[in-house]
Chain A
Amino acid sequence: MSIYYHSVRLDREKCKGCVNCIKKCPTEAIRVRRGKAEINEEKCIDCGECIRACPNQAKYVETDSLEMLKSYRCSVALPPPSLFGHMRATVPPDQVLSALTDIGFDSVFEVAVGADVVSSEIKRLFRSGEISGPIISSACPAVVRLIQVRFPDLTGRVMPLSPPTEVAAQLARQEMLSRLGCAAGDIGIFFLTPCAAKVTSVKAPVSGIPSNIDGAIGVHQIYPQLNRCLKKPHQKLLKSLASGSGMAWGISGGERLAVGLENYLVVDGIHNVISVLEELEMGHLGGIDFIEAQACTGGCVGGYLHALNTFVARVQLRKLARELDKKKSPSEKQHSQLAWLDCQVPRITVQPRQIVYLDTDINKAMIKMADAERVAQLLPGLDCGACGAPNCKALAEDIVLGKAKETDCIFVLRERIMDLSLHVYDLAKIRPPAMNQPGGEGSES
């Protein structure tokens, strides 16, 4: 068993062993072996790029099911801000929360409220000088894990605060405990997740601090029921406490708006995030205090499990956030947040994930790197992926590490067959002395 938990899984039945996912993986963690796309658990960051890339729906997110609600006396749903962008014709948030109780949750606590709390703590940390730029947001767990795997030197630049999801879970539990007076174990906190990355952060948090969340239920599982319940009268009427800026965390650029810093950089899409982190690592991002980086295009509204088109949802959520900001008078806004704002946001530290690429001994690693370069010279450089590795360079390293053979490359194999067949042909032309030579009887060669 691996020490890493992963929510991105492979359905071996559906996998045809094509090369789509290996090409898209930002950490080159996938190899096709024996016709199936196997994931290297050490390198996988659960970003879900392979899920998007798979034409056969062979990659999927393992999420918890609604059945889990039955194991708790009291269940609380944590809807993320992005969920509200995916409601058709922008249903008011109050309605969405009420409909969530209709599908079986006893209570609801908005992650956007957690976002408000985290926003004000981020502002405070910058103001007090406790942190100084450039600091990378800790909100997207796929980005944080990307940093652990590919940018170990930047782990110290990650915002040292728990993300809004965790803060919301903590507040929800506190509230339910004081309201119900039951045992902590009676309360089940369920995050409605838009992506694989957040499932993993519930089951295996990057910080190492156990999550306050008991289950991560994919939003795709609740959309059908939710939409049905939205059409019917609700049993309970709930009131949304989220502010517009809390809601805006669901869109790329929303977090930096909420935090209100002048010198920021916003980037979305995992491959774009990589290019920005490369720049940061080289010290080229001087003067930037805050980097909001999200693995999904568009931010959390672009989460793979969501229903609508990312860009449609983004417009809807942005509109909703603006309306909320306008609607609430400052005093009302304060009222909705005051109770939470003095809560402690747990501190986190992020450690690099120690990955051995070639060898733990630098001497041996150097020999292997030189060998890999020699092998790479023999490969065609087409990066076709037919060998099961994402590119020729990766195959060369796999060969040096004993995980692949040169003949795994169909071009090398074809050359070998060509050489062999020419050799066979040459041998076939040789005749034993006792046999008649070509050209007929008695002829001398």
Chain B
Amino acid sequence: MNEQSREEQSLFLEFPLESLDFMRAGEASSELKQRLKKLGVKPELVRRAAIAAYEAEMNVIIHARKGTMRVEITPARLLILVEDEGPGIIDIEQAMQEGFSTASQAIRELGFGAGMGLSNIKRCADDLVIQSTPDQGTRLQITINIEKSDR
């Protein structure tokens, strides 16, 4: 994980994500959660950010070859950017539906791939932008507002 502050008022975190690395699954979002708590971000926002980050992290681990999660925190908002190299999402609208999943049987047997990930992210995010190119990869941009929510 690398971290640097470019300006005075923003903080960058970066987490590499590996395909099928279930041993370390959830570490990036857990680390993000600890950081946000230490910064004094409101508990409700910490929870939403952690859940959204967890689902996005798991999506990369389950579906993609590899990816990164980058987080930019400013006093106004939290931006979680998850980019991966992988199969991409063919029909985003369909993928957003609860219960829709392309996860393999093996993944489901591990208790993942229930098809709730993207809809969960949408519920937690103030804004969600999904861009995907089949056979190339997916880019998720999750925004959670800090300032407006009367921290």
Contacts and interface: CB of A to CB of B under 8 A. Distances in A.
A367 B8 contact: yes
Contact of A358 (B10, B39, B47): B39
Contact of A369 (B38, B43, B44, B146): B38
A370 B11 CA distance: 7
A363 interface: yes
A359 interface: yes
Interface string B40-82: 1101101100110010000000000000000001110000000
A283 B51 contact: yes
A359 B40 contact: yes
A282 B48 CA distance: 9
Query: Secondary structure at chain A's binding surface: helix, strand, loop or mixed?
Result: helix
Given A281-B33, A281-B50, A282-B50, A365 B4 contact: no
Contacts of B151: 362
Given A152-B43, A373-B3, A366 B9 contact: yes
A282 B5 contact: no
Given A358-B40, A369-B35, A363 B8 contact: yes
Contacts of B108: none
A369 B51 CA distance: 22
B38 A357 contact: yes
B35 A352 contact: no
A365 B40 contact: yes
A278 B30 contact: yes
**Size bin of chain A's contact surface:** 20 to 34
Contacts of A360: 40
A9 B20 CA distance: 47
Contacts of A430: none
B75 A358 contact: no
B54 A282 contact: yes
Contact of B39 (A152, A282, A283, A366): A366
Interface string A363-407: 101110110010000000000000000000000000000000000
A153 B47 contact: yes
Interface in A147-182: 150, 152-153
Contacts of B30: 278
B38 A362 contact: no
Contact of A370 (B4, B43, B54, B75): B4
Given A281-B33, A282-B54, A367-B8, A362 B39 contact: yes
B40 A357 contact: yes
B3 to A, nearest CB: 4
Contacts of B40: 356-360, 362, 365
Interface in B117-136: none
B121 to A, nearest CB: 12
Contact of B5 (A153, A356, A359, A366): A366
A363 B35 contact: no
A219 to B, nearest CB: 36
Contacts of A150: 37
Contacts of B5: 366-367, 370
A362 B146 contact: yes
Contacts of A282: 26, 29, 33, 47, 50-51, 54
Contact of B47 (A281, A357, A369, A370): A281
A5 B146 CA distance: 34
Interface string A335-375: 00000000000000000100011111011011101100100
A281 B51 CA distance: 9
Contacts of A357: 37-40
Interface in A265-281: 278, 281
A161 to B, nearest CB: 23
A283 B119 CA distance: 14
A283 B46 CA distance: 12
Contacts of B3: 370, 373
Contacts of A363: 8-9, 75
A248 B151 CA distance: 43
25 contacts: A152-B37, A153-B47, A281-B33, A281-B47, A282-B51, A352-B43, A356-B40, A357-B37, A357-B38, A357-B39, A357-B40, A358-B39, A360-B40, A362-B41, A363-B9, A363-B75, A365-B39, A365-B40, A366-B10, A366-B39, A367-B9, A370-B4, A370-B11, A373-B3, A373-B4
Interface of A: 150, 152-153, 278, 281-283, 352, 356-360, 362-363, 365-367, 369-370, 373
Interface of B: 3-5, 8-11, 26, 29-30, 33, 35, 37-41, 43-44, 46-47, 50-51, 54, 73-75, 146, 151
Among all A-B residue pairs, the 8 with the closest Cβ atoms? A153-B43, A370-B5, A357-B38, A373-B3, A366-B11, A152-B43, A365-B39, A362-B75
